[in-house]
Amino acid sequence: MLDLKFVRNHPEEVKENIKKKFQDQKLPLVDQVIAYDEEYRALKTKGDDLRAIRNKKSKEIGKYMSQGDKDQAEKIKAEVVQVNQDIEADQAKTLELEEKIREIMMKIPQMIDPSVPIGKDDTENVEIEKFGEPLVPDYEIPYHVDIMEGLNGLDLDSARKTSGAGFYYLQGDIARLHSAILAYARDFMINKGFTYCVPPFMIRSDVVTGVMSFDEMEDMMYKIEGEDLYLIGTSEHSMIGRYINTIQEEDKLPLTLTSYSPCFRKEVGAHGIEERGVYRIHQFEKQEMVVICKPEESKDWFTKLWQYTVELFRSMEIPVRTLECCSGDLADLKVKSLDVEAWSPRQKKYFEVGSCSNLGDAQARRLGIRIRGEEGNYFAHTLNNTVVAPPRMLIAYLENHLQEDGRVRVPEALQPYLGGHEFLEPVKK
């Protein structure tokens, strides 16, 4: 959420930013919120004037009463009653305007970083760099569901019976591999100096609206019926929400956290075969990075975070590339975002396995996360990034390490988490 004072003083810049995000339907919001703000400030001034008048007249009542002039005192009392009524009416109007202003400000997108490429949607994202050689073996790489079933590690049919489409059972070596990757990612981030956390998996509505836009909320979140609780779509939601209405000391920053959680998402829409299986699902687990820092540090942290993900994937010998998200692909709260994509030998292309985002002060402003500085309090910056998100990440892992005989190689970094095994063996039927 932007600073209202910034919108008031720089309306054309805000409108230009909206155009860069290809959200022209939101352009009228800028003039609307400025008009509401002007009316609001006029009412506040009027209210201050009315309270000054009330105080003056209240003193006059005492003066006339002490002089024995009850008639004049009663007349002034009647005037004070009217002033009070005017103050109450203005207060009601002020509260109404506050709500209208907040509603609009929640819809106006964050100012994007000048380095963000301009584009309409994810088809115009820009490749930055490749890491590792994207190889295609001279033998066929099966569909990821077939690889998992070959290891007796996946049961989609039973999951459809118990839960419906978009759910799964993992078992055997695949379930163990899933847990091993999460444990390795946890330790990897701890070794980078991050504090490991397991947060609540449900959050209240005021936290939801603090960490994401209304459109994202509608498309992603599952609401708990009859309660003010939502299932989290990522642990970032509850991790950032942890600091709602707090003041952080400058010398204690940055806060660097890595969190584990299950994640729940609606994943609305139809998807092709490559996005079925365990690629686009309603429930998965993820290791996340979260940073709360001073504004001047957020650009450096953004670079560090996505580099950690690249380093992690390369340690597991999976080729990846980075994509700069264009303006039209940025969610409204994001200042800058970069996707990490893993190589798929089967599809002969890269696919997304993680996303790194700098949200500037957008979440902090919504949630009231401030830093205590020498010259006063100011809003923090927040960042988040995916470490790993199996089981989607398992697709990249299995495709890149599948051997011609059906075995799956285990890179050295993961072997301690899989009992020292160098290969996962297919199950003979």
Q: What is the pLDDT along the chain (429 residues), one digit of tens a residue?
A: 899 999 999 999 999 999 999 999 999 999 999 999 999 999 999 988 888 888 888 888 778 788 888 788 778 888 888 888 888 888 899 999 999 999 999 999 999 999 999 999 999 999 999 999 999 999 999 999 999 999 999 999 999 999 998 999 999 999 999 999 999 999 999 999 999 999 999 999 999 999 988 777 878 899 999 999 999 999 999 999 999 999 999 999 999 999 999 999 997 554 565 567 888 899 999 999 999 999 999 999 999 999 999 999 999 999 999 999 999 999 999 999 999 999 999 999 999 999 999 999 999 999 999 999 998 999 999 999 999 999 889 999 999 999 999 999 999 999 999 999 999 999 865
Residue 256's pLDDT is: 98
Q: What is the CATH number of domain 122-424?
A: 3.30.930.10
What is residue 258's DSSP assignment? E
CATH of segment(s) 4-105? 1.10.287.40
Nearest partner of 4 among 22, 30, 25, judged by Cα: 30
Going 272 to 277 to 283 to 288, the CA torsion angle's sign is: negative
The CA distance from 39 to 22, in Å, is 29
How many CB atoms within 10 Å of residue 201?
15
Name the DSSP letter for residue 132: S
* CATH 1.10.287.40 domain position(s) in the chain: 4-105
CA dihedral angle for residue 170, residue 173, residue 174, residue 176, rounded to 10 degrees: 80
Contacts 24+ apart (CB under 8 A), 253-256: 253/292, 253/293, 253/294, 253/297, 253/371, 253/380, 254/291, 254/292, 254/293, 254/294, 254/297, 254/301, 255/195, 255/290, 255/291, 255/292, 255/293, 256/192, 256/193, 256/194, 256/195, 256/289, 256/290, 256/291
Separation between Cα atoms, residue 345 and residue 340, nearest integer Å:
16
Which pLDDT does position 429 carry in this prediction? 57
Task: List where CATH 3.30.930.10 sits in the chain.
Answer: 122-424
Rounded to whole angstroms, what are the CA distances from 243 to 40, 87, 362?
A: 30, 36, 14
**pTM of the shown model:** 0.90
Please, what is the Cα angle at 218 between 213 and 219, to 5 degrees? 100
- The pLDDT assigned to 273 comes to 58
